[in-house]
Amino acid sequence: MKNSLIISLAFMVLSFSGFSQTELITNVYNRSTTSLNGSWKYIVDPYENGYYNYRYEPFDQQETPWASAFFLNSKPNSPSELLEYDFDGMGDLKVPGDWNSQKQELFYYEGSLWYKKSFDFTPSREEGRVFVYFEASNYKTEVYLNGRKLGTHIGGFTPFNFEITDIVKARDNFLVVKVDNKRLKEGVPTLNTDWWNYGGLTRDVKLVETASNFIQDYFIQLSPENDKKIQGYITLNGNNVSHEKVQVSIPGLGIKKDLITDDNGSTSFEITADNINYWSIENPVLYEVSIRVKEEEVTDQIGFRTIRTKGTQILLNDRPVYLKGISIHEESPLRDGRGYSKEDAEQLLQWAQELGCNYVRLAHYPHNEHMVRLADKKGILVWEENPVYWTISWDNQDTYQNAENQLSELIDRDKNRASVIIWSMANETPNVPARNEFLNKLTEFAKAKDDTRLISAALEQKDYQGNPSIRTIDDPFAEMVDVLSFNQYIGWYDGLPEKCERITWVIEQDKPVLVSEFGAGAKQGLNGDKNSRWTEEFQEDLYIKTLELIGKVEKVQGISPWILVDFRSPRRVLPKIQDGWNRKGLISDDGQKKKAFFILQEFYENQ
C-alpha cells in the first residue's frame, strides 16, 4: 500500500505522446454532478477539415485560429463572411451512445466526428471548482470549452476529466468534442480485434463540482497481510491542502479517525478493526465510508475482503473458491450498440447469476462503472482487463505508455471495489521477447499501484514436448502472474468436439489455473445434428465434452467460457449465420437462451 501511495502521487498528471490531462477524480459516481447527457449536435469530419488547415497544421496550435476551426463554434458576422460549417444546423446524436448504432450511414464509420453541446450552468456552491468528466470516449478525444482547448485523452474505455472553473459561464457555454475512433497500429487495442469499433461519447458526460480544496483520491482496503487492519491513503487537491485535517469514518465498524496531510496534501493510515463482516459471494456486505475535510465530504460503499493464492488454490477470505464464470462483452442487451447504462449492467449480471455464476470476466477492455458497482452489491467476483489484445506494437514506447495509462485509469476508478479480484494484463499475446518485456513492466506497475489484487492474463496453450495430444502452458509470462489463465478452443478451431476426449493436460506451474475461454458458435434457433457446425446441438455437445475435459485438468480453479451474449464483429461475415455477429454467445443478440446455456447452468449447480 505504501508503494500505491507513491504511484498515486507520481501520476497526479498523466501524459504521453505530448498530451496531458487533469488528474482523475476518484468516485465521481457519488459526487455532486450535473449531467450533460442528451442530444448533442454533430459534424462528421473524415478529412478533419475542422481540425487542420490546408497545410495540415492543427488549428488549436495556432495563436489565432481560423474561424473555420470547428471548436470555435463560429457564426458569420455578416452575410458576406465565408464560413463552411454550422453546428446548430446539423443533426443530433444521443450521448451517451455510439454513433454506429444511431445513424445507419455511420454504421461502419471510422474517423473523426465533432460533437457540440450548449448549456447554461449555475454552480451549487459560491466558492468551488468545476470539472467536465467523461466516463469514456472512443478513441482519441480533443476537448474544448467556449473556444479554449482543455486537453486530449487517448483510450476508449476509461474515464478522464478537465478543470473548467475559470472557463465555464452562467449562460451560453458550448462544449465541443472531437472524437476519432480510427484503429491504429500503435494503438491499444491495435488494428486487429474481434469486436465492433464503436465510436463516440459512449458513456456519461457530466460536470463535477468540488470544494476549492477537495478530496482528489483515496484507496481504502484491507491489508493483504492482516485482515484485521484497514489501510489506505487520501490525497487532497487545492492551494491549501498541506497539514489539513482529514477524518475517515466507517460508522458500521465504529471507526472515526482523524488524520493530518503532509506537505503534498496526502496522508496514509492503518486502522485496526476486530469486528469486520467480510464481503463475500454469499454475504456481499458494503460499509458506508465517509471522508471529510473542512470544505467537503465524500461517501462511498466499500466491502472488505482478502484475495490471495496458496499453491493451486484461490482464497477469498482465506477460504478456497471455485470461480464459476462467464465472459462478457460490453454490448447492450436492451438495444443495439455499446452498453453503458445501469439497466444494461443489471440485465447482463442477472443473466450471469441465472446461469449460476459467482464470477464474470469483463473482456477485453474496461467496462462501465455500473458493472463493478452492481457486482459489489450482488456478490459477483470480477476480472477486469486492459485492452492489450493480440498483437500490440511491443517496441513502441508510446504504445506502452498508452497501455500503462489506461491500466492506471482503470485501477484509479475501481480500486475500492471489493468485487474486483483480478487485473488482467492482456489477451492472447505472442510469446516474443518484446512482448514479455512489455507485459512484465506493465505487471510491475500494476502491483506497485495496487498490491491487494491478483494479476493474470489470458495466455495461449501449446503442445507438451511436441506431443499434440498433450497440452500445456509454456510461456515465460506465466511466472509473473498470480493466476495462470489460458484460452482454448479444442473442438471449434482445433478439430471437432470429440477431440476433447483424446486430449490431456500437463500444467507444471504451482499456481491456480483458470480456463479463461472456450466455446463454439451457434445460431440460435438453428437445430440439427450435433456434428453440424452452427447448430445449437453442436455448441451443446462441445460444452458437454469440454466440461468433461476440464474436469480432468489438475489445478483448475474456475472457468469463464466465451461468451454470455452474441456480439457484433466485422470479422464475422458468414451470411445467414453470422451476418456481422460473433455467435459464440450462450444467449442470442435478441435475448434467447441456447441449449448450451442450460448445460453450463447444470454444471455450475453441481459445483
How far apart (Å, rounded) are the C-alpha atoms in residues 561 and 563? 6
What pLDDT, on a 0 to 100 scale, did the predictor assign at position 67?
85
Select from 430, 500, 496, 498 the least CA-distant residue to 458.
Answer: 430
pLDDT at 256: 97
Grid cell in block for residue 344? 444494461
What pLDDT sits at residue 98?
Answer: 98
* Averaged pLDDT for residues 130-151: 97
Q: Which residues contact 9 (CB under 8 A, 6 or more apart)?
A: 235, 264, 266
pLDDT in tens, 169-192: 999 999 999 999 999 999 999 999
Domain boundaries, the chain: 214-305
Q: Mean per-residue pLDDT for 112-131?
A: 95
Give the DSSP H or E segment for 205: strand 205-210
* Residue 21 binned pLDDT confidence (cut-offs 50, 70, 90): low
pLDDT tens sequence across 61-70: 988 888 899 9
Antiparallel, parallel or unpaired: β 513-517 and 556-559: parallel
The confidence score (pLDDT) of residue 169 equals 97
Sequence-distant (≥ 6) Cβ neighbours of residue 478 within 8 angstroms: 459, 484, 509, 511
Please tell me the distance from the alpha carbon of residue 130 to that of residue 149, in angstroms, as a whole number: 16
User: pLDDT of 303-359, one tens digit each?
Assistant: 999 999 999 999 999 999 999 999 999 999 999 999 999 999 999 999 999 999 999
**Would you state the pLDDT for residue 342?**
97
* Tens of pLDDT, residues 358-386: 999 999 999 999 999 999 999 999 999 99
Cα–Cα dist 123/169, whole Å:
10
Of the pLDDT bands very low, low, confident and very high (cuts 50, 70, 90), residue 10 is very low
Q: Is the per-residue pLDDT at 449 higher than 50?
A: yes
Average pLDDT over residues 148-153: 97
- Across the range 280-302, mean pLDDT stands at 97
Residue 423 confidence class, pLDDT cut points 50, 70, 90: very high
pLDDT of residue 2: 37
The three-class DSSP label of residue 305 is coil
User: Which pLDDT does position 126 carry in this prediction?
Assistant: 85
Segment (H or E) for 4: helix 2-10
Written as nine digits, the cell of 578 is 453470422
> Above 90 in pLDDT, residue 415?
yes
105: DSSP letter: G
Give the up-direction half-sphere exposure of residue 93: CA atoms within 13 A in the CB hemisphere.
Answer: 29
CA 135, chain centre distance (Å): 10
Tell me: the pLDDT tens digits for 496-551?
999 999 999 999 999 999 999 999 999 999 999 999 999 999 999 999 999 999 99
Question: Which tens digits make up the pLDDT trace of 526-537?
Answer: 999 999 999 999
- Across 292-297, average pLDDT: 96
- In the sheet that 140-145 helps form, which strands lie side by side, from edge to edge? 92-95, 38-44, 112-119, 173-180, 140-145, 148-154
Residue 499: predicted pLDDT: 97
- 11 has a pLDDT exceeding 60: no
Q: What is the pLDDT of residue 22?
A: 76
Domain 214-305 falls under CATH 2.60.40.10: yes
Q: What is the pLDDT of residue 8?
A: 34
Helices in 415-502 by DSSP H: which ranges? 433-449
> How many angstroms separate the CA atoms of 157 and 189, rounded?
11
Percent of the chain with pLDDT over 90: 95
Q: Cell numbers at residue 600, please? A: 453450463
Residue 572 DSSP class: -
Q: Give yes or no for a contact between 128 and 37, defined as CB atoms under 8 angstroms apart.
A: no
Query: Please, which pLDDT band fits residue 400 given cuts at 50, 70 and 90?
Result: very high
- For residue 387, how many other CB atoms are within 10 A of its CB? 26
More confident residue, 22 or 394: 394
Chain-centroid distance of CA 528 in Å reads 38
The type of residue at 436 is: N
Alpha carbons 52 and 178: distance in angstroms, whole number: 12
229 by Cβ neighbours in 10 Å (0-12 / 13-18 / 19+) ranks as middle
The whole model's pTM is what? 0.95
The mean pLDDT of the chain is: 95
What is the Cα–Cα distance from 224 to 295, expressed in whole angstroms?
32
